Copies of this chain bind each other. A is one copy, B any other.
Amino acid sequence: MKDSQEYKNKKKFFDSVITLYGRNVVVEVLEDMNVEIHRLHMSESNQIDGAIKKINALAKTRGIEILIHDKKSLSRISKNSKQDQGVAIDIVTKTYKSADDIKDMKNYKLIALDGIQNPQNLGMIIRSCAAGFIDGIILPKKSSAKISPLVMKASAGTLFKLPIYYCNSLEDVFDGLDADIYTLSSHAQNSIYDIKLSKKSIFVLGNESEGVSKKVNELCTKSISIPMQRGVESLNVAVTASLIAFIKF
């Protein structure tokens, strides 16, 4: 079955599903009619209190399947037994796509994240890019913070507004891609105030302490600087993403 169309479709579907957890988050998601929900998971050990009653009622209204698990199985689904509070929810994210799709796109300005581990930074980056002039974020599954309730909170309701192109590693995506791939460097000749974008541009932002990894750096084709005053050496990564999203090139 591995190569069949059915397998590919299933894989595509499950790749687009993300699981969130925690009672407030689940209520928020259930109340947002723009969010497509696959299934709701509850622990059999949950006390039927106000929050659980509300979750059950919302799920019933929307006709969403509820699966009951023992506590251990629920932990395996949420992958966060400390914070799941006995509930998890599978969301079908139409904006969550494979980075393979980028090859076929003709015009884009994307931000690629190389090792952003801080969920608040990831949420803020999503929020600013959704609001600004960015077509999507390339997010490697392995090296990045998971899409979690903390990310959702920091994204302030924008988590499902912007395409997120998932991949295993940025190297896979960049290899052979016909695009200008920018890194930021204080030594770069051109600044963000004087570059001219080509039709296909990707800006790579690295981990705050480590920067862009060596392998990814080697695949970048251009570099730009953000001029800074008073000897300041760097900006918060979410701020950098925001400047790329909003400064008009």
Contact = CB atoms under 8 A, between A and B. Distances in A.
A230 interface: yes
Contacts of A242: 235, 239, 242-243
Interface stretch (A35-43, A123-131, A139-147): A123-131
Nearest to A243: B246
Interface stretch (A48-56, A154-162, A171-179): A154-162
A108 interface: no
Contact of A162 (B162, B193, B226, B230): B230
Identical copies of this chain, number: 2
Nearest to A128: B239
Contact of A131 (B128, B158, B162, B228): B228
A194 B22 CA distance: 44
Contacts of A236: 124, 127-128, 154, 156, 238
Contact of A235 (B128, B161, B228, B234): B128
Interface of A: 120, 124, 127-128, 130-133, 154, 156, 158, 161-162, 193, 226, 228-232, 234-236, 238-239, 242-243, 246-248
Given A130-B229, A242-B242, 12 more contacts: A130-B232, A131-B229, A131-B232, A156-B236, A158-B232, A161-B230, A226-B246, A235-B242, A236-B238, A243-B243, A243-B246, A246-B247
